[in-house]
Structure 1
Amino acid sequence: MFVKVVSNNKRRPGTSYIYLTETYRENGKVRHRNVRNLGLFDDSQVPYIKAAFMNPKPKLVYDEMP
């Protein structure tokens, strides 16, 4: 499984739809199936969503809040 990002620049610039997608084979051909629609996110949030679903889990570095 992987995170699929589809940009939504025509309707809402700076946003993307994020899907949890599974890869499988059907009659010897590779196909993709959307398992979950995670919704509409700002482009600044996309790397954090992708990191949450990666294996092994990377360490996230957050900026310190003042």
Structure 2
Amino acid sequence: MQATAYTYDQETRSGSVLLDDGTPVPFDAPAFDAGGLRLLRPGQRVRIEVTGEAGARRVTLITLQTF
């Protein structure tokens, strides 16, 4: 699934992404670490994997979107 980086806290390595419909979905340090990223800037397109439904969605992996 694709999304756009929305927020990112470098100290905690957590933040949130926006799905293409504008829904924010949070991610935590393990999801960030699983993608092997060093830094994330708001507005970057990312590829994510999620678990859960609707309001209980959580990102389990976040990495840069490659074309």
- Shorter-chain TM-score bucket reads 0.3 to 0.5
Q: Larger radius of gyration, structure 1 or 2? A: 1
With the length of structure 2 as denominator, give the TM-score of the two structures: 0.33
Q: With CA pairs under 8 Å and 6+ residues apart, which has the higher RCO, 1 or 2?
A: 2
With the length of structure 1 as denominator, give the TM-score of the two structures: 0.33
